[in-house]
């Protein structure tokens, strides 16, 4: 798209990749399904069930409140900590990492424009939260506890620990300003506690699921507290939405991305590699992995037919992974689609000195790392092409709020669209219930006695299979 990100899928196609590529006829065949998927998504949007799309237009009030809150926090806080897991952690971490300095927390405050340091604690490893408490001053720290359900045990346990420490160190009254809750307006344990204690709260619209929530207060508050221009982020998403509305399904980069991925899956490529050539986008690949994996990995289709479908995301980083996973991508089985993300422009430039005395490597003199990473991207694309491995490239003019907003929104729509093409529900996650229930039973939670009995009766471990 003009003034926007570009999707180049030449290397998916027969003309470039040869016999194993996708043919014009494949695309013609899938086009009716694409039109139908487009129609279905539009219907769902009209009836209000795709609220994650609508929020990019109707959050003016929330955004103003977020900006005001962030500006208040900047006055006194040195540290901003997200307590969350899954979609409540991956989006905030990805956006902050993409747009801020690569060693942000090690910059002096003035180089952070006065914004607080930024941490995301997304695990219950006891070394993690303890470790964080070693290095922060709780008196100048804000904890943003994010959980859609308000009952996520990992996040709620972190919250309980932090609340206790704050109240013991600062007193119940002073602890208040250190806690902000982002959760559902009515459901779950967190909102009840927040209301009782009088904590500042932001709400996640009821129909916006965790992994589609980055452009809601889930992502916007943490971003704003890093000085990220959240209005531009939303503007980027809106520009992508409008472009999609104004162009046909074949010109829609999200739809085409989804359709090509599904065609590749149909032809046996059960792996989707996402490989940004930019350190700044490394965590965007993590965010995308949850989105693609959790949305499309499903046992049943919408008619209840067992399918066990899904395409497994694999994260790689260019140029680094040319010295790691690339050997497998080039020479291994034809079981992958490789998605490269490139940039037209990086934020910095660094030049290899022209007078280096470097033996055989003289050809590098005077080059920049900017040249080098671009050349490596092109050479990797070429090596994949020559090996007959399908690949496509998404190019961002640069990594800023606007284009990142486009990219996030594009991937969200692509995922929802792929769900339609695969005839599955992209918005639920029934497969995690089994593990949750087993955990509840092991904790001895009331109501899970039957599950506990089931667990006690599970196949025993044979010692001969433990070495």
Pick one of 38, 201, 328, 397: the residue that binds its own copies (CB under 8 A). 328
CB atoms within 10 A of CB 204: 25
CB 213 within 8 A of CB 91: yes
Pick one of 59, 141, 144, 325: the residue that binds its own copies (CB under 8 A). 325
Pick one of 63, 138, 170, 271: the residue that binds its own copies (CB under 8 A). 271
CB atoms within 10 A of CB 15: 12
CA distance to 89, 126, 224, 397, per residue, from 83 (Å) = 7, 14, 16, 32
Q: How far apart are CA 153 and CA 124, in angstroms?
A: 9
The piece of 137-145, 173-181, 342-350, 412-420 that touches its own copies (CB under 8 A) is: 342-350
List the catalytic residues.
294, 323, 436
Shortest Cβ distance from residue 46 to its own copies (Å)? 25
The piece of 53-61, 87-95, 176-184, 223-231 that touches its own copies (CB under 8 A) is: 87-95
Q: Is 425 in the site for its own copies (CB under 8 A)?
A: no
Here the tokens at position 412 are: 């969200």
Q: Of 213-252, which residues contact its own copies (CB under 8 A)?
A: 250-252
The separation between the first and the last C-alpha atoms of the chain, rounded to the nearest angstrom, is 57
Element (H, E) at 338: strand 336-343
Total residues interacting with its own copies, rule: CB under 8 A: 151
Shortest Cβ distance from residue 90 to its own copies (Å)? 7
Pick one of 3, 29, 130, 140: the residue that binds its own copies (CB under 8 A). 130
Q: Of 93-122, which residues contact its own copies (CB under 8 A)?
A: 101-103, 105-107, 111, 122
Computed over its alpha carbons, how large is the radius of gyration of the chain?
Answer: 24
Instruction: Identify whether 445 is preceded by a cis peptide bond (ω within 30 of 0).
Output: no
Shortest Cβ distance from residue 371 to its own copies (Å)? 8
Q: Is 140 in the site for its own copies (CB under 8 A)?
A: no
Q: Of 287-316, which residues contact its own copies (CB under 8 A)?
A: 289-290, 293-294, 296-299, 308-310, 312-315
The piece of 52-60, 138-146, 382-390, 413-421 that touches its own copies (CB under 8 A) is: 382-390
Which is nearer to its own copies, 173 or 363 (by Cβ)? 363
User: What 3-state DSSP class applies to 391?
Assistant: strand
The partner residues of 273 in beta bridges, in order of sequence, read 314, 338
Q: How far apart are CA 111 and CA 101, in angstroms?
A: 9
Q: Of 10-39, which residues contact its own copies (CB under 8 A)?
A: 10, 12-13, 15-16
CB atoms within 10 A of CB 158: 25
């Amino acid at each position: 798209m003009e003034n926007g990100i570009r999707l180049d899928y030449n290397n998916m196609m027969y003309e470039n990749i040869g016999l194993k590529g996708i043919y014009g006829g494949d695309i013609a065949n899938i086009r009716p399904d694409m039109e139908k998927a487009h129609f279905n998504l539009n219907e769902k949007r009209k009836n209000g069930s795709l609220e994650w799309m609508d929020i990019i237009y109707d959050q003016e009030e929330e955004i103003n409140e977020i900006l005001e809150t962030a500006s208040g926090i900047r006055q006194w806080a040195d540290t901003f900590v997200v307590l969350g897991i899954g979609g409540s952690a991956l989006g905030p971490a990805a956006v902050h990492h993409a747009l801020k300095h690569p060693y942000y927390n090690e910059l002096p405050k003035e180089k952070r424009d006065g914004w607080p340091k930024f941490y995301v604690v997304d695990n219950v490893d006891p070394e993690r939260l303890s470790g964080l408490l070693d290095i922060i001053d709780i008196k100048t720290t804000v904890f943003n506890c994010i959980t859609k359900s308000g009952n996520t045990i990992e996040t709620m346990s972190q919250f309980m620990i932090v609340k206790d420490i704050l109240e013991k160190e600062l007193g119940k009254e002073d602890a208040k300003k250190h806690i902000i809750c982002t959760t559902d307006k009515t459901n779950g344990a967190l909102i009840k506690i927040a209301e009782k204690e009088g904590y500042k709260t932001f709400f996640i619209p009821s129909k916006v699921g965790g992994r589609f929530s980055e452009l809601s207060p889930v992502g916007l508050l943490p971003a704003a507290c890093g000085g990220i221009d959240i209005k531009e982020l939303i503007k980027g998403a809106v520009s992508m939405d409008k472009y999609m509305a104004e162009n046909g399904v074949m010109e829609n980069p999200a739809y085409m991305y989804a359709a090509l991925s599904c065609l590749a899956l149909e032809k046996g490529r059960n792996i989707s590699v996402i490989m940004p050539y930019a350190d700044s986008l490394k965590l965007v690949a993590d965010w995308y992995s949850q989105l693609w994996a959790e949305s499309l990995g499903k046992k049943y289709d919408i008619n209840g037919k067992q399918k066990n479908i899904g395409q497994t995301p694999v994260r790689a980083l260019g140029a680094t992974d040319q010295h790691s996973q690339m050997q497998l991508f080039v020479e291994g089985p034809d079981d992958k689609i490789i998605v490269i993300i490139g940039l037209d422009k990086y934020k910095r430039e660094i030049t290899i000195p022209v007078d280096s005395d470097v033996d055989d490597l003289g050809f590098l003199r005077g080059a920049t790392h900017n040249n080098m990473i671009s050349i490596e991207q092109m050479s990797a694309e070429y090596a994949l092409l020559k090996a007959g491995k399908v690949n496509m490239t998404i190019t961002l003019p640069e990594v800023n709020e606007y284009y990142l907003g486009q990219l996030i929104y594009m991937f969200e729509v692509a995922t929802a669209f792929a769900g339609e093409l695969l005839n599955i529900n992209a918005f639920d996650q029934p497969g995690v219930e089994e593990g949750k229930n087993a955990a509840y039973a092991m904790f001895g939670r009331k109501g899970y006695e039957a599950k506990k009995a089931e667990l006690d009766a599970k196949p025993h471990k044979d010692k001969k299979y433990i070495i």
